[in-house]
């Protein structure tokens, strides 16, 4: 999937790293050259200097080829304009925008081209799931320096592992379960823990890919 991220601050950088690690083609746009330089080499992404609230800059960043735009700047007015241009001018199918000030949340709707409004306090994984429409496995981040990937997968009614003890699931080599989140609470990943629909598992691996881990549980 082609993704354009407007804003190379903390949030934009984290989203870019996650989506790049998941195999997406990522473009990051920011008017601050120093911010872009700080991202260079951290992950695979095209870096474009410019203000994404300008149609010409979005055009130069080839936003028309993007399936997803994430407006992640620290200014609500910029995020709204970025969203509107991406949706109305270039026809981007899915636009997610960060809401920095809760009082402005009512503006972030389809009238401004926003499909997903993301409050600033939203956890990163939730932002990615909502923005991309993902509902099962989301690669959270890849710690390239250590060669370690962190992957989340959710057990559903249809999952082959539903109803099985965690210890009975054959994991790919070099992979371990870090925690199981059940009803919003982290649970120790004991071998005798029976997996239930709705359980969210966080796994760490230095060898297996996202699809291998997903297949083990689904």
DSSP 110-147: GGGT-SEEEETTS-HHHHHHHHHT--S-EEEEEETTTT
Question: 103-124 pLDDT, tens per residue?
Answer: 999 999 999 999 989 887 766 5
Asked if 19 contacts 127 with a C-beta cutoff of 8 angstroms, the reply is no
DSSP letter at 75 equals: -
- Measured CA to CA, the distance from residue 94 to residue 115 in angstroms comes to 6
Question: 16-27 pLDDT, tens per residue?
Answer: 877 887 678 999
β 46-49/25-30 pair status: parallel
CA neighbor of 35 nearest in space, from 48, 18, 17: 48
Instruction: Give residue 37's Cα distance to chain centre.
Output: 22
* Helix, strand and coil in the chain, % to nearest 5: 35, 30, 40
pLDDT for 184: 67
When comparing pLDDT for 143 and 189, which is higher?
189
Please report which confidence band the pLDDT of residue 178 belongs to, taking 50, 70 and 90 as the band edges.
confident
Range of 9-13, 127-131, 148-152 with top mean pLDDT: 9-13
Taken in order of first residue, the domains within the chain and their CATH numbers are 2-132 (3.40.50.720), 138-217 (3.30.70.1450)
Please report which confidence band the pLDDT of residue 152 belongs to, taking 50, 70 and 90 as the band edges.
confident
When comparing pLDDT for 126 and 143, which is higher?
126
Sequence-distant (6+) residues with CB within 8 A of 44 are 20, 26
pLDDT for 132: 63
Sequence-distant (6+) residues with CB within 8 A of 180 are 166, 186, 187, 188, 189, 193, 195, 199, 200, 201, 202
Least-confidence region, from 35-44, 65-74, 98-107, 116-125: 116-125
In the chain, DSSP assigns E strands to 2-6, 25-30, 46-49, 68-71, 94-99, 116-119, 138-143, 148-154, 175-182, 185-187, 200-205
User: How many residues would you count in the chain?
Assistant: 218
Asked if 8 contacts 39 with a C-beta cutoff of 8 angstroms, the reply is yes
């Amino acid at each position: 999937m082609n993704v354009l991220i407007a804003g190379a601050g903390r949030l934009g950088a984290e989203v870019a790293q996650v989506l790049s690690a998941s195999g997406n083609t990522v473009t990051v746009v920011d008017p601050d050259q120093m911010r872009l330089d700080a991202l260079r080499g951290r992950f695979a992404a095209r870096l474009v200097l410019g203000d994404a609230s300008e149609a010409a800059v979005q055009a130069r960043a080839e936003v028309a080829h993007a399936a997803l735009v994430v407006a992640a700047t620290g200014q609500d007015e910029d995020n709204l304009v970025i969203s509107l241009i991406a949706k109305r001018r270039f026809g981007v199918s899915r636009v997610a925008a960060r809401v920095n000030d809760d009082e402005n949340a009512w503006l972030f709707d389809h009238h401004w081209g926003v499909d997903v409004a993301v409050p600033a306090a939203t956890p990163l994984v939730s932002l990615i799931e909502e923005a991309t429409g993902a509902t099962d496995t989301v690669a959270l981040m890849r710690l390239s320096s250590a060669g370690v990937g962190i992957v989340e997968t959710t057990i559903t009614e249809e999952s082959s592992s539903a109803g099985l003890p965690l210890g009975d699931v054959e994991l790919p080599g070099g992979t371990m379960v870090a925690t199981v989140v059940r009803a919003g609470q982290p649970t120790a990943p004991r071998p005798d823990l029976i997996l239930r629909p709705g359980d969210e598992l966080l796994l760490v691996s230095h060898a297996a890919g996202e699809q291998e881990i997903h297949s083990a549980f689904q």
